[in-house]
């Protein structure tokens, strides 16, 4: 019997929201996916961002802008191995079928929660496209589930 048996993980769908940045280092501190202190580049490598284990259907984002007087904008990127490319996740207007980049604007001193459909997306990355310098940061938690 091996000295260390790793925890089993099915990689299947989950009804509960699962943190895709990984399990917490201890039971009281959830794992942060991103801490932004400046605008960032778009993902380019197939290993950027976070794997969507089990191809969950819904992305949960908690974005906490800890800066006073400074807004932040975030873009959501999706990766598919069939094309080996990253693309900006799009929203569709149900009234006329037009599409647009999903851009989340987080107001200063605000904690905002979003749910976004990601069915079929293999990896998720967040890009900070607008960060006005401040004394604090923007913290982002990412979770997924199958509902």
Q: For 27-65, how does the pLDDT look when each residue is reduced to its tens digit (9 = 90+)?
A: 778 899 999 999 999 999 999 999 998 789 999 999 999
For a pLDDT cut of 90, what percent of the chain falls above it?
A: 63
What is 33-145's CATH number, 2.60.120, 1.10.287, 2.60.40, 3.30.70? Answer: 2.60.120
* pLDDT higher than threshold 80 for residue 69: no
pLDDT tens column, 85-127: 999 999 888 898 899 999 999 998 999 999 999 999 999 999 9
pLDDT, residue 56, reads 92
pTM, rounded to two decimals: 0.85
**Cα separation, 90 vs 88, whole angstroms:** 6
| Torsion, Cα of 101, 18, 114, 40 (10° steps) | -50
Length of the chain as a residue count: 147
Q: In terms of C-beta density within 10 A (0-12 exposed, 13-18 middle, 19 or more buried), how is residue 126 classed?
A: buried
Query: For 82, how many CA atoms within 13 A lie in the half-sphere containing its CB?
Result: 4
Span 10-26, pLDDT tens digits: 455 667 898 999 877 77
CA distance linking residue 33 with residue 147, whole number of Å:
21
Q: How far is CA 124 from CA 3, 36, 40, 110, in A?
A: 34, 16, 15, 23
Rounded Cα gap, residues 127 and 134, in angstroms: 18
**At residue 3, does pLDDT exceed 80?**
no
């Amino acid at each position: 019997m091996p000295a260390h048996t790793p925890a089993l993980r099915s990689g299947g769908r989950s009804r509960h929201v699962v943190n895709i940045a990984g399990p917490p280092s201890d039971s009281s501190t959830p794992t942060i996916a991103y801490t932004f202190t400046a605008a960032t580049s778009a993902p380019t490598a197939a290993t950027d961002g976070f794997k969507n284990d089990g191809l969950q259907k819904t992305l949960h984002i908690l974005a906490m802008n800890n800066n006073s007087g400074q807004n932040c904008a975030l873009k959501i990127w999706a990766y598919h191995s069939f094309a080996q490319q990253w693309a900006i996740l799009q929203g569709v207007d149900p009234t006329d079928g037009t599409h647009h980049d999903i851009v989340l604007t987080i107001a200063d001193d605000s904690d905002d929660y979003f749910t976004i459909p990601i069915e079929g997306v293999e990896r998720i990355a967040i890009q900070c496209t607008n960060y006005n310098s401040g004394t604090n940061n923007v913290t982002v938690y990412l979770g997924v589930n199958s509902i």
